[in-house]
Amino acid sequence: MSNNRSGSFVGGLILGSAVGTVLGLLVAPRSGKETRQVLKKSAQALPELVEDLSTSVQLQADRLSESALRNWEDTLIRLKEAVAAGLEASQQERQVLSEKVQNTDSSYPLGDRN
């Protein structure tokens, strides 16, 4: 679960950095020409930033998928164990009831059943 949190943190950090950079450039006291040049350079770096973010998201998705698969496998094992225990308990109860029926049948004479 800490891997999931650290991946979210890294993704948020990258996104926050990009947004902060753009906002800082727009608010900075520069001439229009200078601001456009800086924005152009930032826009050129954007594909690389998006690729890094995409890779990070894909890694986190893979980790989450692996974690979900492990959790599912653990749940399936516990479910199989529970079903096996339930079957065993029902067989034991059936045997106990069968013995009670046999004991009850043997305690009554054949003529008294009607």
- Kindly indicate the confidence band of residue 79, based on its pLDDT and cuts at 50, 70 and 90: very high
pTM: 0.41
More confident residue, 103 or 114: 103
Tens digit of each residue's pLDDT (9 = 90 or more) over 9-58: 878 888 888 888 778 767 777 677 877 787 788 778 888 888 888 888 88
pLDDT exceeds 80 at position 7: no
The two tokens of residue 1 are 């679960």
DSSP string, 61-105: HHHHHHHHHHHHHHHHHHHHHHHHHHHHHHHHHHHHHHHHHHHHH
- Kindly indicate the confidence band of residue 2, based on its pLDDT and cuts at 50, 70 and 90: low
Return d(Cα 14, Cα 59) in angstroms, integer.
Answer: 15
